[in-house]
Amino acid sequence: MKKKGEIKVNTISKNYRGQVWVETVIYLLIAFIMMGLVLSYVKPKIEDMKDQTAIKQSLEIINEIDSTISTIGSVGNKRLIEVGVKKGEFMIDSTNDKIIFEIQTDYKYSESNEEVYDGKIKIITEGENQYSKVILERDFSDEYDIIYEGSAVNKTLPKASTTYKMFIENKGVGTQPGKLVIDIDIE
């Protein structure tokens, strides 16, 4: 028999504890789902921003190389430029006298297969699918004969955690009349 004022503590306490654990698990699942949804939206945007930054930095590097070549001065002058390639490939095309940067990305710099110029640098976005290739190209063939380590060979600099040391040297007028020979060495 129950006494007056007595409360059933055991049954209420057991049910309440179970309910708290169920609510906690449900709230945690909802929080994880929300974080997953946010990450699935934010991560591609972050990758696009990284690619956009890599393209801008490469534009600056090519402009610096262009400026160095055009102001190198007399025969025998040698200048150092540090080139960082965090993403993509940096190429010295000695056979065509070009400096090229290529990056595979889902960031579209311009309309597909349309040439855009940033100063003397030609920019082309190739491909219409999710991933496209952005190509930055500076053509020196009208003014300079670009060589790599003393000969007309091509060199590709892949992405690296450290910077490349690029030495640019004026070798004087070469076999082609009116064209200065610019020798590029990489360390």
Domain ranges of the chain: 38-186
Mean pLDDT across the stretch 145-171? Answer: 87
Would you state the pLDDT for residue 85?
86
Percent of the chain predicted with pLDDT > 90: 13
Q: Residue 186: pLDDT above 90?
A: no
Residues in the chain: 187
CA distance 135 to 132: 10
What pLDDT band is residue 1 in, cutting at 50, 70 and 90?
low
Residues 103-154 pLDDT 10s: 888 877 778 888 888 888 999 888 877 778 889 999 988 888 888 888 888 8
Say which amino acid occupies 147: I
What pLDDT band is residue 101 in, cutting at 50, 70 and 90?
very high
Write the CA distances from 156 to 36, 64, 134, 160, 186, integer angstroms: 39, 18, 16, 12, 10
- Would you say 176 and 140 are in contact if contact means Cβ atoms under 8 Å apart? no
**1 by DSSP, 3-state: which?**
coil
The structure tokens 């309309």 sit at 111
Mean pLDDT of the chain: 84
What pLDDT band is residue 27 in, cutting at 50, 70 and 90?
very high
- Would you say 81 and 152 are in contact if contact means Cβ atoms under 8 Å apart? no
Residue 109 φ then ψ, to 5°: -75, -40
Would you state the pLDDT for residue 26?
92
Percent of the chain predicted with pLDDT > 70: 90
